[in-house]
């Protein structure tokens, strides 16, 4: 029964990693860029949700939607100002810029509000324990998992059933051919950043409810773990990011459940090393060397 409890906790945590990982994998799939500022967009979403709840007095869903909207605008702004001018630059230049944007967001946030942590109100979602087949499951965990799954299904619908989704897939496959077919590549890339950032914002609010405490540097570790999840599933592959996030969450919870909680964070990076050694393309990717 303890195992099932840890699995439920792991899937709830993994769904948060999956939402963040989707942003990494969508952006990489289109512009071959690892957006290391993505974890800080997640942090901004968490704070937007917190202030929406505490200052505006709104509930969970309005706070979630507001955080997604703010993060979508932030993601598009970052892409237009920081990444678009470097579209044809070397990869190392873009990578250094991404790290710089990440640090800028973190320390602007510290400058504006200080480094002290905040705590999400514990009454935002109902806290009840449900007993299913002898296993006690928190209603909050189920609510978080349900919200995350709805957002992932919505993303799949956008990618496969809408005009912008078709444009994203076309640009991912061949940007030049897509441009010749009349697709606005720049707008498509901006839309990709907006959707990925909106999901990160939603993950920020969900993370705040799940862990309560938030601070301006909170995006570093979840952001890196989500990157590991994206690599685990196969970076650039949307279903891979979902599965990678859920797997990583379950593994972390099982490690904690076995009494090795100090290894909880280290396990993610051990997995990254093993994946890069034995299956660099990830679980869903094809092991084909990319030409640089």
pLDDT at 136: 75
For residue 16, give the nearest of 154, 141, 135, 155 by alpha carbon: 141
In contact, 50 and 118? CB cutoff 8 Å? yes
118: which DSSP letter?
Answer: E
For residue 255, give the nearest of 271, 241, 233 by alpha carbon: 271
Residue with tokens 């007993």: 131
> pLDDT tens across 23-62, in order?
999 999 998 899 999 999 999 999 999 999 999 999 999 9
pLDDT at 127: 76
- What gap in Å lies between CA 43 and CA 108, rounded to an integer? 12
Return phi, psi of residue 279, to 5°: -150, 75
CA distances from 51 to 45, 67, 270 (A): 10, 10, 36
User: 177-187: b or e for each residue (b if 16 or more CB lie within 10 Å)?
Assistant: ebeeeebebee
Task: Count the residues in the chain.
Answer: 292
Does the structure show a pLDDT above 80 at 282? Answer: yes
The pLDDT > 70 percentage for the chain reads 96
> pLDDT tens across 198-221, in order?
999 999 999 999 899 999 999 999
pLDDT at 28: 93
> pLDDT tens across 219-231, in order?
999 999 999 999 9
What's the whole-number average pLDDT of the chain? 91
Residue with tokens 């599933």: 233
Kindly tell me the number of DSSP H helices and DSSP E strands found in the chain. Answer: 11, 4
CA distances from 272 to 41, 129, 235, 275, 281 (A): 23, 35, 12, 5, 11
Predicted TM-score (pTM) of this structure:
0.92
pLDDT at 291: 36
Does the structure show a pLDDT above 80 at 287? Answer: no
pLDDT at 286: 64
- pLDDT band, very low/low/confident/very high, at 133 (cuts 50, 70, 90): low
Tell which wins on pLDDT, 260 or 194.
194
- pLDDT band, very low/low/confident/very high, at 142 (cuts 50, 70, 90): confident
Residue range 166-188: average pLDDT? Answer: 94
- What gap in Å lies between CA 37 and CA 59, rounded to an integer? 28
Q: Which helix (H) or strand (E) holds 285?
A: none
Does the structure show a pLDDT above 70 at 122? Answer: yes
Tell which wins on pLDDT, 110 or 144.
110
- What gap in Å lies between CA 268 and CA 284, rounded to an integer? 18
Residue range 244-263: average pLDDT? Answer: 91
Domain residue ranges of the chain, discontinuous segments joined by +:
15-122+131-218
The pLDDT > 90 percentage for the chain reads 75
Does the structure show a pLDDT above 90 at 123? Answer: no
Tell which wins on pLDDT, 142 or 24.
24
């Amino acid at each position: 029964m303890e195992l099932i409890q840890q699995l439920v906790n792991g899937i709830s945590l993994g769904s948060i990693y999956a939402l963040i990982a989707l942003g990494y994998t969508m952006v990489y799939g289109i512009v071959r860029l690892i957006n290391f500022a993505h974890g800080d967009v997640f942090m901004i979403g968490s704070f937007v949700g917190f202030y929406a709840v505490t200052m505006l007095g709104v509930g969970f869903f309005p706070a979630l939607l507001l955080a997604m909207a703010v993060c979508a605008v932030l993601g598009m702004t970052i892409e237009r100002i920081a990444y678009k001018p470097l579209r044809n630059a070397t990869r190392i230049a873009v990578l250094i810029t991404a790290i710089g944007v990440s640090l800028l967001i973190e320390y602007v946030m510290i400058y504006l509000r200080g480094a002290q942590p905040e705590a999400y109100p514990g009454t935002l979602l109902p806290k009840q324990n449900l007993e299913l087949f002898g296993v006690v499951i928190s209603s909050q965990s189920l609510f978080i998992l349900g919200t995350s799954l709805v957002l992932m299904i919505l993303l799949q619908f956008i990618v496969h059933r809408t005009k912008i989704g078709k444009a994203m897939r076309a640009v991912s496959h061949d940007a030049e051919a897509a441009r010749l077919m009349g697709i606005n590549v720049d707008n498509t890339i901006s839309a990709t950043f907006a959707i990925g950032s909106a999901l990160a914002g939603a993950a920020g609010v969900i993370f705040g409810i799940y862990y309560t405490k938030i601070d301006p540097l909170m995006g570093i570790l979840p952001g890196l773990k989500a990157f590991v999840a994206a690599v685990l599933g196969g970076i650039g592959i949307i279903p891979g990011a979902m599965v990678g996030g859920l797997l990583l969450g379950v593994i972390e919870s099982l490690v904690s459940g076995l009494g090795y909680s100090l290894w909880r964070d280290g396990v993610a990076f051990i997995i990254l090393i093993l994946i890069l050694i034995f299956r660099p393309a990830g679980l869903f990717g094809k092991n084909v060397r990319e030409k640089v």
